[in-house]
């Protein structure tokens, strides 16, 4: 099987899919903490795994705008309650088991009103963790790598 083929159908190439992952940062608890959420059974992949706030990049929408949209939809936070800090380099994840080649666009956001978060149906639980704790969770593929990319990404001015 070649590098870009699906396990379900070895002749079929992996479906290229762009997604955003937003890492929400709060700094009001002493040590900086990031939000991770446990994915519900109702999402399309990686059920019960921990991840950031994520979603598909819609056609005609920039990854930056999609990141703001996903945060609003999944947490209830409005644009004035968050601030985009950094835009990371794309992290690629090939998952032949589900026939996908993910292109993850990672972002780091500061949350100005962390207690205002209300999760929607896509997540069943939330935790504010120190970034070093990420390795202790069963996460979506390459979440740690996406976080590092976000924190070392391009600084965003004036968002």
Looking at the domain that runs over 15-155, which CATH code has it been given? 3.90.79.10
pTM of the model: 0.90
Structural domain spans, the chain: 15-155
Q: Mean pLDDT throughout 58-75?
A: 98
Determine the pLDDT at residue 21: 98
With a cut of 50, say whether residue 2 has pLDDT above it: no
Q: What angle do CA 33, 142, 121 make, to 5 degrees?
A: 65
Contact 78, 117 (CB under 8 A): no
Determine the pLDDT at residue 6: 43
Q: How confident is the model at residue 12 (pLDDT cuts 50, 70, 90)?
A: confident
With a cut of 70, say whether residue 3 has pLDDT above it: no
With a cut of 90, say whether residue 61 has pLDDT above it: yes
């Amino acid at each position: 099987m070649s590098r870009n083929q699906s396990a379900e159908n070895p002749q079929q190439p992996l479906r290229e899919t762009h997604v955003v992952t937003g890492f929400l940062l709060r700094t009001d608890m002493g040590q900086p903490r990031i939000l991770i959420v446990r994915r519900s059974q109702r999402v399309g992949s990686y059920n019960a795994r921990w991840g950031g706030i994520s979603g598909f990049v819609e056609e005609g929408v920039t990854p930056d705008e999609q990141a703001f949209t996903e945060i609003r939809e999944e947490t209830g936070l409005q644009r004035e309650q968050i601030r985009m800090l950094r835009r990371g380099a794309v992290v690629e994840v090939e998952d032949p088991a589900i026939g996908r080649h993910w292109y993850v666009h990672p972002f780091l956001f500061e949350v100005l009103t962390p207690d205002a978060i209300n999760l929607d149906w896509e997540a069943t639980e939330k935790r504010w963790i120190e970034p070093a704790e990420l390795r202790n969770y069963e996460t979506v593929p390459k979440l740690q790598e996406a976080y590092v990319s976000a924190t070392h990404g391009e600084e965003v001015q004036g968002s």
